[in-house]
Amino acid sequence: MTLFAIILIIAGVFLTIAPNLVYAITQSWKNSNNSEPSRFYKTITRVQGVVLVVIGVVLIVS
C-alpha cells in the first residue's frame, strides 16, 4: 500500500507542477491549432494533483 501511496504522491506533484506538460501528453492531439490549455483546465489539473497528494499522504500516515 505504501508503494501505491508514493505513486499517487508523485503523480499528484507532477499534475500540480506541470499542467501544460500533462496537456501536451494527454490532450493536445485533439486540438489541430496547437493552442495551449485553458485556465480552467490548468486549475482543475492542479486541484486533481493536490487531491492525489493528500490521498497519498493519508494512505502513508494511516
Sequence-ordered alpha helix ranges (H) in the chain: 2-17, 19-26, 39-61
Number of domains in the chain: 1
Cell numbers at residue 5, please? 501511496
| CA–CA distance, 20 with 46 (Å, rounded to integer) | 10
Residue 34 pLDDT > 90, yes or no?
Answer: no
Q: What is the pLDDT of residues 4-25, one digit of tens each?
A: 999 999 999 999 999 999 999 9
Q: Which residue has the higher pLDDT, 27 or 10?
A: 10
Three-state SS at 35: coil
Report, as an integer, the average pLDDT of 14-40.
Answer: 90
pTM of the complete model: 0.87
Distance of CA 22 to the CA centre of its chain: 7
| CA–CA distance, 32 with 16 (Å, rounded to integer) | 25
Domain that holds residue 52: 2-28+36-61
